[in-house]
Amino acid sequence: MSASVEGNAIAELMGEKEGIEVTKYPAMIRIDGGKVIEFDMEEIAEYLGVEEFTTADFEVETSTHYGRMAKLDDKVMLFANPEDAAELLGFDLPEEEDEPQLPG
Which residues have C-beta within 8 Å of that of residue 87, sequence separation ≥ 6? Answer: none
The predicted structure's pLDDT at residue 81: 80
Q: Say whether pLDDT at 86 is over 80.
A: no
The 10s digit of each residue's pLDDT in 29-58 is 999 999 999 999 999 999 999 999 999 999
Q: How sure is the predictor about 99, in pLDDT bands with cuts at 50, 70 and 90?
A: low
The full set of domains in the chain, from first to last, is 5-86 (3.90.56.10)
* Section 45-73 average pLDDT: 90
Considering the chain, what is the average pLDDT of its residues?
87
Going by pLDDT thresholds of 50, 70 and 90, the confidence category of residue 67 is confident
CA 103/CA 100 separation, integer angstroms: 10
Note the pLDDT tens digit of each residue in 10-23.
999 999 999 999 99
- Quick one: pLDDT at residue 93? 60
Report the DSSP beta bridge partners of residue 29: 24
